[in-house]
Amino acid sequence: MASFFCSTKFFFLLFLISAIPIAIIVSLESTTPTTNYYQFHSTGWFRESSKWDDVNNRFIVSFTDTGGLGVVNVPKGHKSEDVLEETCRGSAPEKHAGLMLYNIKMKGWLLYHPCILETKSNLICELDTGGGKSFADDVTVDAEGNAYVTDAKGTQIWKVSVDGQLLSTIKSPLFHAKEWYNDIITLNGIVYHPNGYIIVAHTITGKLFKVEINNDNKVTEVKLEGKLKIADGLELLSPTKLVVAGANGVKLVESNDDWITASLIGRSPVLTHRVATAAMVKDGKVYINHALGMGFPKKKHVFVEAAFS
């Protein structure tokens, strides 16, 4: 048996096995999306989250691998086949996801916001989480400028003031899954609703929760018709429609009773090999953020318009 593992046949078999996924990826990469898309070169492999800045006609992206933020300017007359260039507009000492950064050395959370990309420093605040296992994942901002940060490990939401002070921590038994294996990664995507509350998702179960921040942080589970399963980034398409992004696809959810109940009304495919992590709205259309870049030495990333059906 040992001689087989040292034989030419074994190495040839190993080559064939490794060649199969590579061939699949090459095939997937050679397929042009059927909807509108934006592609851009970057210096890093991972771009966890993105937002569309309609005032300056650009995308804002976050660097998961190196830390920091970047912008991708979209010129007039842009065509999908044109490859844009990413420009770094902010650096950070540690890796981060979304618009959130965890500084390991200082054991605190550093919060970024796209509105201050033009300044020398993007650091808004540093939070003392009080120890324990924590992982800041996503952030949203209410009408008064307070930030709400999801903790995917501590299963809680931090409320942070405009000047960077930790105001309160929102917890609820409802945030936890019944099965331990569904509770390894908990709260993830979060959005502020214009009616004055926040909606937050549980990563693995895909459950949605409504948190009434003006009613003593009352937490209720949104009664959902249909299953989401894997909920990463959230984005409001309208007050009644919510986009839920995940590696297994992007889902469109609708509620006609102020998010007491909701229904799954559409699904959009994603570039599975690139791993979908977030969604954003540009000109009334949903675009999917894929975290993984492809290519060498320049990595190419792509935002693809969702096609719900």
Whether 290 shows a pLDDT value over 70: the answer reads: yes
Residues 19 and 156 in one domain: no
Total count of domains within the chain:
2
pTM of the model: 0.80
Residues 126 and 3 in one domain: no
Residues 16 and 64 in one domain: no
Residues 20 and 54 in one domain: no
- Phi, psi at residue 276, to the nearest 5°? -75, 130
Phi-psi region of 291 (alpha: psi -120 to 50; beta: other; left: phi over 0): alpha
Residues 16 and 71 in one domain: no
Query: Residue 155: which of 128, 125, 135 has the closest Cα?
Result: 135
- pLDDT tier for residue 32 given thresholds of 50, 70 and 90: low
Model confidence pLDDT, tens digit, residues 76-112: 989 988 999 998 755 544 444 444 433 333 333 344 4
Residues 261 and 158 in one domain: yes
Residues 22 and 48 in one domain: no
Residues 94 and 157 in one domain: yes
Higher pLDDT, 296 or 87: 87
Quick check: 111 and 100 in contact, CB under 8 A? yes
- Bond preceding residue 269 cis, omega within 30 of 0: no
- pLDDT tier for residue 117 given thresholds of 50, 70 and 90: very low
- Phi, psi at residue 129, to the nearest 5°? -80, -5
Range of the domain at 140: 35-305
Q: Which helix (H) or strand (E) holds 9?
A: helix 8-29
- pLDDT tier for residue 21 given thresholds of 50, 70 and 90: low
* 96-97 vs 249-254, strand pairing mode: unpaired
Whether 15 shows a pLDDT value over 60: the answer reads: no
What does the alpha-carbon distance between residue 50 and residue 271 come to, in Å, rounded to a whole number? 16
Residues 141 and 23 in one domain: no
Q: Where residue 54 sits, what CATH number does that domain have?
A: 2.130.10.10
Residues 1 and 145 in one domain: no
Residues 88 and 4 in one domain: no
Model confidence pLDDT, tens digit, residues 165-216: 788 999 999 999 999 999 999 999 999 999 999 999 999 999 999 999 999 9
CA dihedral 90, 91, 95, 98 (to 10 degrees): 0
Q: Residue 287 forms beta bridges with which residues?
A: 280, 305
Question: How large is the C-alpha radius of gyration of the chain?
Answer: 21
Give one DSSP letter per residue of 249-297, joined into a string: EEEEEE-SSSSSEEEEEEEE---GGG-EEEEEEETTEEEEEE-B-B-SS
40: amino acid identity, one letter: F
Residues 111 and 20 in one domain: no
